[in-house]
Amino acid sequence: MTVDLAACTDGELAALALGGRQAAYRTLMDRHRAAAFRLARSTCGNDDAALDVTQQSFIAAFAALRRYDGQRPFAHWLARIVINKSRDWARRRKVRRFFAFALPLDEAHGVAGEEPDAERQTADRQELERTMAMIATLPARLKEVLVLRAVEGLSQAETATLLGVSEKAVETRLYRARAKLSESVRG
């Protein structure tokens, strides 16, 4: 008997994937890839890093699939993994930058990522990148709330649950994140 994977819930797909059905996990990835990438791009600030973080997140999710509670939204569980992988990426980036500055400039090429050529970007793309860069400079606790609420469209309650903080903390952090972004735009 064949199962219509597209009609399965995320919990059912996770159970099938744990049972050895690779197609079930592929369907889960297909359903959630775009949202995971958007979240990673919003927290990392660049597409290449976001792609790496997204891939690492799906690998980690598959390795931890036994810990997923099929009664809860898979998207929230995966978002938590993406946020953690984004934090890991940010820590590694800081280390790479430190070592890049420690090397002579002619030897430091390729240690820290180079920015894309702005001349090849359209005006919309430049504005998006500028905004993403401003978001990326926010402290992690502010950035995560802003991305989950404003970019991913999660409710205040969902964001609070996902981050393990109170709804009031979400509200305060969102206010502070928006204030910092406004300062960046004016400055």
Mean pLDDT of 169-176: 91
Residue 128 lies in a domain: yes
3-state secondary structure of 108: coil
Band of residue 117 on the pLDDT scale cut at 50, 70, 90: very low
Q: Which residues contact 10 (CB under 8 A, 6 or more apart)?
A: 28, 31, 70, 73, 74, 75
pLDDT value of position 70: 85
The residue out of 114, 142, 173 marking a domain boundary is 114
pTM: 0.61
Mean pLDDT of 93-101: 62
3-state secondary structure of 64: coil
Report the CATH number at residue 99. 1.10.1740.10
pLDDT tens figures, 8-61: 999 999 999 999 899 999 999 999 999 999 999 988 888 889 999 999 999 999
Considering the chain, what percentage of its residues have pLDDT values greater than 90? 41
